[in-house]
Amino acid sequence: MLFLAPFLLAGCAERAVSGSLALQQQETIPDSKVVDFRLAACGTLWQLDEQETLENSLYWLRAMECAESLSANQARTLAKTVENGHWDGAFKQGILLGAAQPVVAERRQQAERVNSYSLEFPNALRPLLQIWSQQQALQIALADEKARYQRLQESSDSQIDALRQSQLGLQTQLQETSRKLENLTDIERRLSSRKQLQGDIPENATRPDNSGKGSAPAKKAAPESMPEKGTALPVEPEDSETPLPDNKESDAQ
């Protein structure tokens, strides 16, 4: 029995040490439970305001999912019912208004308002707040780029319309200039043909008058002999004597 005494004492000591370690572990493990909000109802989610709930990141992730399922009018109406005096109310309004398709200025204003409460956010929610702020910044940048592209598109359309109008004007001028050039070419062709015809016709040939009809060449008139002054014209003697019929008969005999 004396030989077994050391072993019995060692076994008792081990049991005492293991019992004290188990007691210490129970004291160090906190008795807390994390509520899973992934299946929480969206209708009652926005009215929850317990401190433990608000510090749970799963609650805010579920709130973002519920906000995306709402229409723009529903999200705005629900955002008006949320108290915004603290960081949690500002965050709820930011989530709801962010899902209501706001304009760029409204989204920027709401993001700045939520970020103004960043020092009041619990440490467990700081990463979630940072991700949400980055998402809002990306949405704002995307909206700015769309607006800039729209302005560039409108400016390009205006320039294209102006160029089209200028092209139409230049085309009209080109057609008018071409028509005038054709007329001048036709006139030059006619003048050249007339000159060639005039060179082939002799001088004594019939020439067309202004009306286009030919006229006979003028004959050179013979000069009339005019009597000189102081000279008398010779007068031929008239034969006043007529032969007698008797003489004619005697001659015939």
* Tens digit of each residue's pLDDT (9 = 90 or more) over 96-130: 999 999 999 999 999 999 999 999 999 999 999 99
| 23: its two tokens | 């007691």
Q: Which residues of 38-69 are buried (b: 16+ CB within 10 A; e: fewer)?
A: eebeeeebbeeeeeebbebbebbebbeebbee
Number of Cβ within a 10 Å radius of residue 109:
12
Confidence category of residue 207, pLDDT binned at 50, 70, 90:
low
Q: Please tell me the predicted confidence (pLDDT) of residue 41.
A: 87
Q: Residue 137 corresponds to which tokens in the numbers above? A: 């910044």
Report pLDDT digits (tens) over 161-172.
999 999 999 999
Helix, strand or coil for residue 42?
A: coil
Confidence (pTM): 0.54
